[in-house]
Structure 1
Amino acid sequence: MTQADTPKDPLSALLVCLADGDFHSGDELGESLGMSRAAVWKHLQKLTELGLPLTSIRGRGYQVEGGLELLEKERILGALDPEARRRLNVLELFRATDSTNVRALARGPAEPSGYVCLAEQQTAGRGRRGRAWVSPYGRNLYLSASWNFDGGAAALEGLSLAVGVAICRALEASGLQGVRLKWPNDLLWRGRKLAGVLLEMTGDPVGQCRVVVGIGINLSMPAGAARGIDQPWVDVSEACREEGLAPLSRNRLAAELINQLLPLLADYQRSGFSDYRNAWHARDAFLGQTVVLKSAQREQLGVARGVDGSGALRLEVDGQEQLCHGGELSMRAVS
């Protein structure tokens, strides 16, 4: 296994110093980082540009309120199980990038399966149907993984739903129960959006192709950043508080995602969605409920009856079942 490293820069080093949430004086930071107080001040100004809550008190110094758990490659690698470690080709961490999916898609055509990247921040994070994915610095999880498949799009039926199951299992293994799945790409907790999946494909649509699986999880969303979210949402921190659980570690959860995701991708061409269908139904947020299915052209009212073996939604309309495939469709419950 090879590993790609992002070079340490002064801003990253400063963030490591402030990640503990304690106050640090300018002199202390300058000594730790080997730079002048003026240089420290210059880099501190960049923290506000990242949206981090920097507090400054005369006589005490500087503090990132609440601290940060920065992503650490060695901690993630150390928490991988043997199968995931064997499937992993490259693990790459970025301080900031436009989009982890874009990074994964940009890998060369000869790239083997098993590339995984995470970022502290996305400046142009993307969700489904062209929506922006709110991606504040150091608070949530933004992960992408790429895998090569034969058979094109037909081999990938139901994959986004299976990935949803894998994310649920990663959260459950970390201690958080009760996460539910909303067809076709969202994860909910008590009816509010917690996470999402974005699949993108390059290559031959009927032959050899590469799939990039993008995962975004609201872990500890700052209220200011959340103003850009246009639907009810929740983060893992709030869910854990309401359940009386200790906060989840970003690094540990990243490792659990990789533990679940890479074996799924490695085996999916053989198993398909059939190995995940029952697990998806067990977590279906809208099973048996009246829903509205919406496309750009029309809205359809019906009762959600789960999914078929390809991951298509089974929608009962006037006593007749219709199969609805993801595409540009969205679904909501009828209140």
Structure 2
Amino acid sequence: MRQASKLIRQHILAVLSDGHFHSGEAIAQEVGLSRTAVAGHIAQLSDWGLDVFKVKGKGYRLERGFTLLNADTIKKHLPGPRMALVDVEAVLPSTNTEMKKRIVNTPHNLANGDVVLAEVQTAGRGRHGREWLAPVGGSLTFSMYWSFPDGYQSMAGLSLLVGLAVCEGLKAVGVDDAQLKWPNDVYLQGKKLAGILIEVEGQIGATAHSVIGIGLNVCMPENQYDVGQPHTDLAAFLGFAPDRNSLAAAIIHALCDLLPKFSQQGFGPFVDLWQAMDLYADKTIVLQMGEKRFSGVDRGVDASGALLVETRDGITRFHGGEVSLRGQ
């Protein structure tokens, strides 16, 4: 029953995604339900964050139409043959949660570069357990699987490497000057554009199964989402909302291009590239670690991805985890 409801809502979302009015009767005929049942499903879409307008005599429409994510379209934008999976789901609690579930339940079916994307995340997560808020059709949220046979220690600097891949993918839509905030944020014109959440499954000393989660703002309704810091989206920068399918393909391609070298050589070969894009390079920063605050000058990162902070006492290294960074 739950799967049937999911498919019906996915169908209704596809109908409404053109941004035009559709009568309740027409939608009911389309999905083979009563108008009352359709109204219930549309109410659920509204609960997921879609602005669905109902106008008497005209029917339903979304505030803003958008092109749905499509696995086949994404694959067509990817260069060369691709064996890894591209899976688009209409609704998931979280793409990271879904990928972690697959690691636990069907690990032998996974391949490096497998990707799960979602139009709707009902329980998206950011760092430190924060909620990741994303409007339907206005964001790009996906998770990629990648294994590290040499274990957890071989993943040092992974979130920084992923940031580089996101910036490389953004070039495909005309964004050449994105910057990186240690350890896992992408910024554009001084505001947050995307976030990265790395999660790991596996035992100490065994292969580490990583989940690379990415959330990127494509078209965020102004003042609708409070993420606790200044944020921006691609539509505001470009003047239009770029195609999310081609953007997804560009970032996926960049990840699959950079991750093999990272897996073999670590983050060392990427240090200079990351530092050239460091948002706070040579600026005074404040690090928050629980109740403790630490201030110094950002001097880049080392081969392990640790942040180098200069104070009167010399250079101190900080690793990810529970550290939050702000400019002063």
When normalised by structure 2's length, the TM-score is 0.91
Question: 2:267 maps to what in 1?
Answer: 273
When normalised by structure 1's length, the TM-score is 0.89
Question: 1:292 maps to what in 2?
Answer: 286
What's the Cα RMSD here?
2.1
Q: What aligned pairs does 1:65-76 form with structure 2 within 5 A after superposition?
A: 65-76=63-74
In the alignment, does 2:318 pair up with 1:318?
Answer: no
Alpha-carbon separation, structure 2, partners of 1:149 and 1:133: 26
The alpha-carbon distance between structure 1 residues 8 and 50, as it changes in their structure 2 partners (threshold 3 A), is closer
Alpha-carbon separation, structure 1, partners of 2:31 and 2:122: 26
Q: What aligned pairs does 1:155-234 form with structure 2 within 5 A after superposition?
A: 155-223=154-222, 225-227=224-226, 229-234=227-232
Report the CA distance between 1:275 and its aligned residue: 2.9
Alpha-carbon separation, structure 2, partners of 1:306 and 1:282: 9
Unaligned runs of 5+ in 2: none
Report the CA distance between 1:29 and its aligned residue: 2.6
Q: Deviations over 1:138-167 (max 9, x none)?
A: 321111011111221221111110100000
Alpha-carbon separation, structure 1, partners of 2:6 and 2:319: 45
Alpha-carbon separation, structure 1, partners of 2:46 and 2:107: 38
In the alignment, does 2:88 pair up with 1:89?
Answer: no
Question: Given residue 138 of structure 2, which amino acid in structure 1 is its aligned partner?
Answer: R
Contact residue 306 and residue 313 of structure 1 kept, 8 A: yes
Aligned counterpart in structure 1 of residue 22 of structure 2, from 15, 21, 24: 24
Contact residue 20 and residue 62 of structure 2 kept, 8 A: yes
Alpha-carbon separation, structure 2, partners of 1:224 and 1:49: 18
Alpha-carbon separation, structure 2, partners of 1:294 and 1:300: 7
Report the CA distance between 1:8 and its aligned residue: 7.3
| Partner secondary structure for residue 264 of structure 2 | helix
Question: 1:3 maps to what in 2?
Answer: none
Contact residue 187 and residue 193 of structure 1 kept, 8 A: yes
Question: 2:98 maps to what in 1?
Answer: 103
Contact residue 94 and residue 121 of structure 2 kept, 8 A: yes
Alpha-carbon separation, structure 2, partners of 1:8 and 1:42: 13
Q: What aligned pairs does 1:5-154 form with structure 2 within 5 A after superposition?
A: 9-82=7-80, 85-86=81-82, 88-107=83-102, 108-110=106-108, 111-154=110-153
